[in-house]
Every structure is written in C-alpha cells, then in structure tokens.
A and B are shown apart, each in its own frame.
Chain A
Amino acid sequence: MATTACFIIVSRNDIPIYEAEVGVAAKREDAAQLHQFILHAALDVVQDLAWTTSAMYLKSVDRFNELVVSVYVTAGHTRLMLLHDSRNDDGIKSFFQEVHELYIKTLLNPLYLPGSRITSSHFDTKVRALARNFGKLFLLPRDLTAMVDFPLSIVLCTRVISRRPCLESYMLPKVVPLLVLQFVMLTDLVLDDQLFD
C-alpha cells in the first residue's frame, strides 16, 4: 500500500531545511529513509533541469518505482520537492505555490537566517494543513482502495456513509460488503476533508 507524500525543502546549498511526511502515514519503518534517498538522488536532475526553463515548477523530474518526484525551484534556487505517487499536476502546482508563499513569509522574518532549518511550528502546521487540503489531489483513488485493507478503514467508511444525507435513512447492515464500501468511499472522499484529519 502506497499512499505516500513526502515533502522537503532544500536550501541553495543543498542542505535540507524542512522535512515533512504528509499524507497517510507510511507503513514501512524504513520508508522515511527511502524517501530521503529518492529525493536526494533527484537533486542532480533538478540541477540540470533548473537552468533549461524559466518556469519555477519543473513538474515531475524523477521517478522510483511508483513514486514520483515533483520539484519547484524558487528564484533564490531553494528547491521545494514533493515525493508522491500519483499524477495531478494542477493540484501539486498550487500546493507548491502556496508553500512558496509561506516560505517567503518565513524568509521575511528577520530572526530567521536564510539557509538555516525552518523550526517554526506555525510554518509546519500551515504546510501540513495545505498538504491535507491538496492531499486529495496527490492521492489517487487507487491509493484509497488500498486503505480498505485494514480494519480501521471500515470505521472510516461507515462514517463517511452516515454523513451522506441520502444514505442516512437506510439501515445499513452490520457487515457491508467491502466492494460497496470501496465504491462509496471513492465517490465520497473527494468531498470529505475530514478523512485525513
């Protein structure tokens, strides 16, 4: 099951200054290291690509199995990198633009030294909130079906179902076939922010 999104910011001196695992928590213990590794490997590609275009958003620059690396390079050559496993260019682009905005605000803080680690909890919360909002866009339905694998998702599903006014009147049987659940989830999730909270 791969519902991953890992976001890092790399300073112009190739030092990571902010890292966040966003999206649904990774199952594998070594996933975090793997993500770092992939992102790190993509830096070289970014270096070459960055000078070939005037656009800040470089789209997906590298991939590893089903994981894709999308990159956004700011004018100061700070790189915002997102590792994700779906393709939704528009969503990711606007996510990058919003984070860029936040990053500029951080840079304007006189007490923040450019190139140092971003420790601000305000920034962290904002980025995670953004990722949650756009999370629906990073994660394809394919990923969501994977979630049905574990029991918790049934609870989630019933919650989602019960929120729908049209379904509320139905007496749902205790055991709803998983397939039905999956279907309901897929149709409903796009509208439901709460699921990722």
Chain B
Amino acid sequence: MAPVAPRSGDAIFANIERVNAELFTLTYGAIVRQLLTDLEEVEEVNKQLDQMGYNIGIRLIDEFLAKSNVSRCVDFRETADVIAKVGFKMFLGVTASVTNWDAEGTCCSIVLEDNPLVDFVELPDNYQGLYYCNILSGVIRGALDMVSMKAEVTWLRDALRGDDVFELQVKLLKQVPEEYPYKDDE
C-alpha cells in the first residue's frame, strides 16, 4: 500500500490563504466567551462548541478533499495519519502526532503539542469543566461523518487543565457503507 497522499500538509499550508494568528485566537476566544455568557452552563457550552465544530467539519471536509489531493485511505490508520499530518497543518498550521493505537486499529490518540487556539487562555476556577477546544473534536467528528465513518472524539488530556499536551481520542464506531441514494423506481 504505497500512500499517494501527501505525508505532510506543508506544501498546501504554504499556498493556502492565511489570517493573523492573534486575530484567529481572539476571535475564537470571543466566541467561547459569548457562549459562556449566553448559555451559562459550562456543560452546555461544551455541547454547543462540539455542535459548532460538527457543522464546520461537515463543510470543511469538502475543502480539504478538494485542496489536499489525498486519495482514498485504505484503513482507519491512514485516515488518522492524514488528519494529524495534513488536516491539522492545513487548517491550524500545526502538526499533530498519532499514538496509542489499540489492537483492532479503531481507536487512537491525536496528540497536539502546540495549539494556536489557546495562546492566551488560562482557565479560571469557575470554568474548570470547560473543554475550551471542544470545537476541534466536533470538526473531526463532522469531517469523518461525511466520509462515512462514525467516530467518537473525546479529550483525554487538556493542557489548560494542567496536562502537558492536548490529546484527542478518536474512536471509530462503524463504517457506514455507501448507499446509492435513489431507488430504481423513483
């Protein structure tokens, strides 16, 4: 299985349009801040961020496939690799690493050492339950959903809560077989 897909997103990242990192970080911060004010419950904010991420993900995957020239992945291992090496580089400008595979190859961890979303952030005591970057897990879930993979994405480690890195656990629940959308007689 010779992977034809680019092994890193550097080339694409160099050609893609970019915005100022601080603008990006502070805009995201403003969104989270506003959600916290509007929804009041930290749990609700986590849910909302995840939902927003999902909505981004189901659109983002199209741009990703159009610009990155990756071909069909043969298995979930390759998928995870492409997300970490190409996807993250393309849209966040950082590269993640993939570790902690389980025996069946359906569950792995994506480790982000550098996360531009959290540049100035420090969790105050009253928001300890907040998953500040929950939008990322939503994006991955949404994107995988669009390529017929149902996945569950959870945070294992969060640098804002005192861990050293960000670790996302991606668990493949099932691969949905592609169905031809129309019945013959319609």
Q: Please report A residues at the B interface, Cβ cutoff 8 Å.
A: 105-106, 108-112, 119-120, 122
Contact = CB atoms under 8 A, between A and B. Distances in A.
A105 B120 CA distance: 7
B125 A110 contact: no
Given A110-B26, A110-B30, A120 B120 contact: no
B26 A120 contact: no
A110 B121 contact: yes
B122 A122 contact: yes
B32 interface: yes
B26 A108 contact: yes
A120 B121 contact: no
Nearest to A120: B122
A88 B29 CA distance: 40
Consensus secondary structure, chain B interface:
helix
Consensus secondary structure, chain A interface:
loop
10 contacts: A108-B120, A109-B29, A109-B120, A110-B30, A110-B32, A110-B33, A111-B33, A111-B121, A111-B124, A120-B122
Contact of A111 (B26, B119, B127): B127
Could you say which interface size class chain B belongs to? Answer: 10 to 19
Contact of B125 (A109, A112, A119, A122): A119
Nearest to B120: A108
Nearest to B123: A111
Given A108-B26, A111-B127, A112-B122, 13 more contacts: A106-B122, A108-B119, A108-B120, A109-B29, A109-B121, A110-B29, A110-B32, A110-B33, A111-B29, A111-B32, A111-B121, A111-B124, A119-B125
A103 to B, nearest CB: 12
A106 B32 CA distance: 16
Interface string B110-138: 00000000011111110100000000000
A13 B8 CA distance: 51
A127 to B, nearest CB: 14
In this complex, the member of A105, A106, A109 whose beta carbon has the largest number of chain B beta carbons within 10 angstroms is A109
A112 B30 CA distance: 11
